[in-house]
Chain A
Amino acid sequence: MYTTDLRTKAQKAADAKDTGAKDEIVEASENEARFQARIDDEQFIEPKDWMPEPYRKTLVRQISQHAHSEIVGMLPEGNWISRAPSLRRKLILLAKVQDEAGHGLYLYSAAETLGVERGDLLEQLHTGKAKYSTIFNYPTLTWADIGAIGWLVDGAAVTNQIPLCRCSYGPYARAMVKVCKEESFHQRQGFEIMTVMMEGNAEQREMAQDAMNRWWWPSLMMFGPPDGDSPNSAQSMAWKIKRFSNDELRQRFIDATVPQAEAIGLTMPDPDLGFNEVTGHYEIGDLNWDEFWSVVKGEGHCNRDRLDARVEAYADGAWVREAAEAYAEKQKAKHAAA
């Protein structure tokens, strides 16, 4: 799915103090200078290479947060598998949700190359210590929401993730290549759902428009706070974890998406939206950042539901994990005896 730094300002300050991030960067030991030179030379950093501790920490946080988002992202859509309007749609949605699980697994593996354990990452998610994308805390009210999520949410995700395929950390970049390939299927199936609904009766068109109205703004906020309020971005850019600013990527998504909406007869839910002939870009109205931060802090419609569902699924699966472990032990004993 996507990643953005979801820590509050206070957390960021505490983390910076914790790792001495800022001081270390200023001091720039010999190792760090060599490391930065490799980054500047567009070289990939691999797991066993020397890296500054703040670089490693930033990646662990970003990659695991990204993985959590993929896993939690299965929930709003999983709701609709049993209610898909046709067998074709059901097969597609099943495949898409399975892909999201796969994306989570690619990413957890990438995070593990940085010396963290899968179980610890899952525990951080389940105890609410780790964050995931705010977008999944919005409810999926109708079938059209499945269209809007694929088209807009996954569309925004692809926009964010394409530059990550060239991020400086090798395992993360390689995971992103796989994710992006699969994500473009997600976007297209979503757009197809919207297209078909817009070709339907008045009620279906209304449903599609309603989903558009609810998902447009949250999708734009997926790119994270405006550049001016994103103090950590500069360091991530210097490390080439991030290649473009939040606002640049948001603009890219807007420019691509507005014509798509218009092509199928959807109205943009923004009275201030206009095309600037001089810059060649669309300009949008103000984003409601208070809403964004309140969802980050857990006041979204579904924060509790999502986490509860996740924890419940994990708890319900405990017997399967235990059985698998017991079976593996038994097989091992059998082989040893033979």
Chain B
Amino acid sequence: MSKGNWDLFEIFIRSKNGLSHKHVGSVHATDAEMAIENARDLYTRRMEGVSLWVVPSKSIVASDPGDMEHLFEPARDKVYRHPTFYKVPDNIENM
């Protein structure tokens, strides 16, 4: 923790009620409470949000870019999962 290398926290902001929290960046802090205070100073100086989440960066498990293909490729050839795949007869106005 010395030399300024405090724990890293990822910051998520809810910009207004009704919307989900969105990742905006990160801050260093000695604990979660300080992370909230630092995030408030750094990311919400212009009314950017109404709620903050701070998550220790080391708690985040991320997928590997190398796994991109086997994770996301299978969705590519399943266009029938989208409504636009289906033809709606011209004489049907709303569906």
Which residues of chain A have a CB within 8 Å of any CB of chain B? 46, 48-50, 95, 98-99, 102, 105-106, 109, 112, 117-120, 122-123, 174-175, 178, 182, 321, 324-325, 327-328, 331-332
Contacts and interface: CB of A to CB of B under 8 A. Distances in A.
Interface string B1-41: 11111101000000000000000011110110110000001
B30 A109 contact: no
B27 A105 contact: yes
Given A98-B45, A112-B8, A331-B31, A325 B1 contact: yes
A109 B37 CA distance: 17
26 contacts: A46-B65, A48-B64, A49-B65, A50-B65, A95-B45, A98-B41, A102-B41, A102-B45, A105-B27, A106-B25, A106-B42, A109-B26, A109-B27, A112-B8, A112-B26, A118-B4, A118-B28, A119-B4, A120-B3, A122-B3, A123-B3, A325-B1, A325-B6, A325-B30, A328-B31, A331-B33
A102 B42 contact: yes
A168 to B, nearest CB: 15
A325 B1 CA distance: 8
Given A102-B42, A123-B3, A324 B30 contact: yes
Interface of B: 1-6, 8, 25-28, 30-31, 33-34, 41-42, 45-46, 62, 64-65
A320 B5 CA distance: 14
Contacts of A321: 4
B45 to A, nearest CB: 7
